[in-house]
Structure 1
Amino acid sequence: MRFLGVDLGWVSGASGLCCLEWQGNQLELLDLQRLEATEDLLNWVDRWLPAGEPGGIAVDAPTLIPNARGMRSPDRLAHKYFGKYHAGCYPANLNSPFAQRTVAFGLSLEARGFDHAPTIVPRQPQRFQIEVFPHPAIVHLFNLERILKYKKGVIAERRSELSRLRQFIHERLPLHKPALDVSQGTISLPAIPQRGADVKAVEDQLDSIICAYVAAHWWYWGVERNQILGDRSEGYIVVPNPI
């Protein structure tokens, strides 16, 4: 099984992409990059998960948006359960400027056989997609009291928080089940750069690793060690339980 993480650019801009593979009872990092055009993103998906091959895709974006206005059910639940960690998510509705792109991306994955999976039979070959949100996932995976604030603020603070995320990926994911030890593969995590635009590029890639890992965690454990905010009809977000 392979697991793809897509930190999707909601309106425009580049998306972080990660491919993990389950083999030898652990996860291996196969690819980590950043692409911009939707066609290029889908070609990348097709390369790593050709038609008929089992695999899971976790997308950091609202790919199911049934409501014309207001806030989706999973958005409200994210604020309810994760607001205390500063991890409430951005509200989505069909009038949001990003809705057309994010929903279309989910539909393109469905056309490729990646059905939405707010329920799952763990550890079985299958082809699925889920929506994820890195902030609460990071809080639970790394047992934090609040989110890592690497998205906003002065560049020095963002670099410091992004460095912490990079360190947690290196040091803690090898201890989890399923285990991911990025130091064992042929691909290294990018260093934390100095300039703001370059920091954003690394942020997207590290977020995509969290997305791909959540896909693998969902496939491995199902509801035993994950929670679902919402459902198929109203939209949903998969979040690992605290480790």
Structure 2
Amino acid sequence: MPRFFGVDLAWRDGTPARPANETGLAVIDESGAVISAGWERGVDAVAAWLIASAAPGDVIAIDAPLVVTNAAGMRQAEREVGSRYGAWKVAANPMNLASPLQGGAALRARLEHAGFHYVDGSGPPPADRVSMFECYPYTTIVGMEELGYDDRRPRYKRLDPAVSRTEARVLRAAACDQLLERMAGLDRADPPLRMRSHPLAAALVDDDSPLLDAPYKHREDLLDALLCAWTASIWHRHGATRVQVLGLGAEPDEAGRRPTIVAPARPMQRVAEPEPAAPGSRVDADGATGPALASEPPRGVDPGMLARVLALGAEVQASDGHRLEPTLRSELAELSARIVRRLASEH
């Protein structure tokens, strides 16, 4: 009987001077029972726990970029998150090789060294190996009708900048408690998630979400790990009937891995899946393929500036249209001025 692991990975690994943030971990079985739940810190500890716990046939869903091939900018899968789930106020943070937040790729490498198998989600998992794929809990929340988020995602992560920080923490806690209440109703879903089958998961449902940031984040990490585990179960149970693969048309890495996100989806969140690109071809934002692009950005384009523009764009898209924080507004103004100066100098 396969088991389904969820990993809400801290993207930044630890150093002697700065320990890693907590990673939430959860395991459920085919009945939806939560058979393990908890936290670890650092890629090494997470990898050791998974290697000791998982067995052939098990599936691991990890909320972190596992395969990164782009030198700058945003991966195709992340662009597709915005294009397909943006109406629900869901956007993905951009990831590229210039980012220092490479914990996901490091974890994948350690698990592959132990014999685990990365899958892009386009086919069934091998029964004789442990499979792992990348997921994004927000797509599960808005992509599974059972949770009832028909119009927009719950704001249970970032504080709302449109109100005071005190009020924003109250609103965040209320959104989290509502999400957990809905997750508690998944015991009859297909596949099920039985939140009250484990004391730590049951405590998420029964206890009010804290207002202070540190205890709140501790709780949120486990919540997201449970959503990841449920995503693994959904993919294993239903495949393409309830899940789509984002970034499937992206160029693979040197080992043939495609940087994809396995995302539950409603019919209106889907578009026709592109054909996988042949090695050495490029994939445009709309999924069209063409001749390979150079590995370096075009001449005259500052990759650091481009990465910042994309990151800020994702932040703005996730801001729900509220007023921007002063620091973000200042950065956007600075970037706009630099872009205008660059265009003026080129023409």
Corresponding residue number in structure 2 for 1:183: 196
Corresponding residue number in structure 1 for 2:46: 41
Q: Is 1:229–2:246 an aligned residue pair?
A: yes
Q: Which amino acid aligns with 1:31?
A: S
Corresponding residue number in structure 2 for 1:210: 227
- 1:28 aligned residue (14, 17, 33): 33
Q: Which amino acid aligns with 1:73?
A: Q
Corresponding residue number in structure 1 for 2:91: 88
Corresponding residue number in structure 2 for 1:163: 177
Contact between 2:115 and 2:129, CA under 8 Å: does it hold in 1?
no
Q: Taking structure 2 as the reference length, what is the TM-score of the superposition?
A: 0.64
Which SS does the other structure have where 1:27 is aligned?
A: coil
Distance between the aligned counterparts of 2:107 and 2:88, measured in 1?
A: 29
Contact between 2:54 and 2:130, CA under 8 Å: does it hold in 1?
no
Measured against aligned partners, the alpha-carbon deviations of 1:105-148 in whole angstroms (never above 9, x if no partner) come to 11112223322222232795652111000112101222311111
Distance between the aligned counterparts of 1:78 and 1:121, measured in 2?
A: 22
Contact between 1:3 and 1:213, CA under 8 Å: does it hold in 2?
yes
Corresponding residue number in structure 2 for 1:2: 3
Measured against aligned partners, the alpha-carbon deviations of 1:5-25 in whole angstroms (never above 9, x if no partner) come to 010001131111111122xxx
Distance apart, 1:155 and its partner CA: 1.2
Distance between the aligned counterparts of 2:101 and 2:111, measured in 1?
A: 17
Distance between the aligned counterparts of 2:11 and 2:125, measured in 1?
A: 30
- 1:16 aligned residue (24, 34, 48): 24
Contact between 1:19 and 1:48, CA under 8 Å: does it hold in 2?
no
Identity across matched positions, percent: 27
- 1:242 aligned residue (235, 241, 266): 266
Ranges in structure 1 where 5+ consecutive residues have no aligned partner? none
More strand by share: 1
* Cα separation, partners in 2 of 1:123 and 1:104, compared to 1, 3 Å: closer
Which SS does the other structure have where 1:183 is aligned?
A: helix
Distance between the aligned counterparts of 1:185 and 1:203, measured in 2?
A: 16
Ranges in structure 2 where 5+ consecutive residues have no aligned partner? 13-19, 160-167, 253-257, 268-347
Distance between the aligned counterparts of 2:180 and 2:64, measured in 1?
A: 22
Contact between 1:3 and 1:20, CA under 8 Å: does it hold in 2?
yes
Measured against aligned partners, the alpha-carbon deviations of 1:19-51 in whole angstroms (never above 9, x if no partner) come to 1122xxx1210111111122221121123215x
Distance between the aligned counterparts of 1:40 and 1:126, measured in 2?
A: 21
Distance between the aligned counterparts of 1:119 and 1:68, measured in 2?
A: 25
- State the structure with more CA Rg: 2
Corresponding residue number in structure 1 for 2:187: 174
Q: Say which structure, 1 or 2, has more relative contact order (CA 8 Å, 6+ apart).
A: 1
| C-alpha RMSD of the superposition | 2.0
Question: Which range is displaced more, 76-85 or 182-191?
Answer: 182-191
Contact between 2:32 and 2:187, CA under 8 Å: does it hold in 1?
no
Runs of 4+, deviation exceeding 3 Å: 122-126, 184-187
Distance between the aligned counterparts of 1:133 and 1:39, measured in 2?
A: 22
Distance apart, 1:60 and its partner CA: 0.4
Corresponding residue number in structure 1 for 2:210: 193
Contact between 1:57 and 1:212, CA under 8 Å: does it hold in 2?
yes
Number of residue pairs matched?
236
Contact between 2:43 and 2:106, CA under 8 Å: does it hold in 1?
no
Contact between 2:117 and 2:129, CA under 8 Å: does it hold in 1?
no
Q: Taking structure 1 as the reference length, what is the TM-score of the superposition?
A: 0.90
